[in-house]
Amino acid sequence: MVTQEQRRRQLAREKFLRQQQRRTSARRKARMRNAAIASVLGVILIGSVALYTTGVVLGDDDDKTNAGAEVTPSASAPSKAPDPCDKPAEGKVETQTWKKEPALTVDESAKYTMKLATTCGDMDIALKAKAAPHTVNSFDFLAGKGYFDHTKCHRLTTEGIYVLQCGDPTAQGNGGPGYNIPDENLKDKSLKDNVYPAGTVAMANTGQPDSGGSQFFLVYQDSQLPPSYTPFGTVSKEGMAVLKKIAAAGAQPADPTTGNTAPNATVVIDKATVTKS
């Protein structure tokens, strides 16, 4: 017999899939419209005209580059709680992008830890270099470039699945580093019965294979999802306390433009570092 909770999760997943289909269709129409505009402008203007299509799910005009992602259905927001976090450190968001994935230099036999020093507290994440070398290598590269510094965690879901999503410099859900990395570790032993357990850190993607970029999500409560999102790290016990504090503050109503439900807490990554030991 299907329980009420299972039915609720099923409906949330179905709603998410419908949203993805609508947004993919909208993105295609926008590209066609921009292509027509480009043709007209090409006759009139002297010089090159660069057009950039910004979609809700993908932040670039090519499905194979700069992958932003929306891995979660929009959630209705509970009553707003007091902000438990501090003011962000001074600094600006890095806007640099790269044309291709960085060379694979990660040592698969070593231990890597990513530290997110956030306005809400520090979260240490044990990275799975052997199981997800391309993903860990990319995060090592991006953290070293200061790519995540001063970025907002732009999404918190509080129904159906329970994650905090970060890693987008635009804080809109459509940003990325300019390159994609392959899916990895989708048969991780921790993923049982299509459940990403609390503490899992996984890659967001566009819904297409090998479309991960820089966005990732941290699971604060067991969440049922298809095994399509690269699990590449585990949050420490202390980090989970920070994550749950953020979740307890709830989420804002869905943004009518992006569909994102931003956390009520001011979650900003002041500094991200990856260390090898």
- Measure Cα distances from 154 to 2, 7, 180, 249 in Å: 33, 27, 20, 14
Report all structural domains of the chain as residue ranges with CATH numbers, in order of start.
Answer: 112-276 (2.40.100.10)
Judge whether 74 and 261 are in contact, CB under 8 Å: yes
- Measure Cα distances from 174 to 129, 141, 169, 271 in Å: 26, 20, 9, 21
pLDDT over 90 at 15, yes or no: no
Give 73's pLDDT tier (boundaries 50, 70, 90). Answer: very low
> What would the pLDDT profile of 154-186 be if each residue is shown by its tens digit?
999 999 999 999 999 999 999 999 999 999 999
Q: What is the DSSP string of the chain?
A: ---HHHHHHHHHHHHHHHHHHHHHHHHHHHHHHHHHHHHHHHHH-SS--------SS-SSSSTTSS-----S------PPPPP-S-PPPS--------SSPPP----TTS-EEEEEEETTEEEEEEE-TTT-HHHHHHHHHHHHTTTTTTEE--EE--BSBEEEEE--TTSSS----S--B----TT-TT-BTTEE-TTEEEE---SSTT-B-S-EEEEEE-EE--S-S-EEEEE-HHHHHHHHHHHHT-BPPPPTTT----BSS--EEEEEEEEE-
> Is residue 233 classed exposed, middle or buried when 0-12, 13-18 and 19+ CB atoms within 10 A define those classes?
buried
Give 260's pLDDT tier (boundaries 50, 70, 90). Answer: very high
Give 81's pLDDT tier (boundaries 50, 70, 90). Answer: confident
Judge whether 224 and 195 are in contact, CB under 8 Å: yes
255 vs 23 pLDDT, higher one:
255
pLDDT over 90 at 6, yes or no: no
The whole-number pLDDT of residue 74 equals 41
> What would the pLDDT profile of 86-118 be if each residue is shown by its tens digit?
999 999 999 999 999 999 999 999 999 999 999
| Cross-strand partners of 263 | 251
Give 271's pLDDT tier (boundaries 50, 70, 90). Answer: very high
The whole-number pLDDT of residue 142 equals 98
> What would the pLDDT profile of 203-257 be if each residue is shown by its tens digit?
999 999 999 999 999 999 999 999 999 999 999 999 999 999 999 999 999 999 9
Closest CA to 261 of 243, 247, 273: 247
pLDDT over 60 at 5, yes or no: yes
Tokens standing for residue 27: 């993105």
What is the arrangement of strands in the sheet containing 216-221, beginning at the earlier edge strand? 151-152, 268-276, 112-118, 121-127, 231-235, 200-203, 216-221, 162-166, 155-156
What's this model's pTM, rounded to 2 decimal places? 0.75
56 vs 32 pLDDT, higher one:
32
The whole-number pLDDT of residue 68 equals 43
The whole-number pLDDT of residue 66 equals 41
Can you tell me the mean pLDDT for 55-67? 35
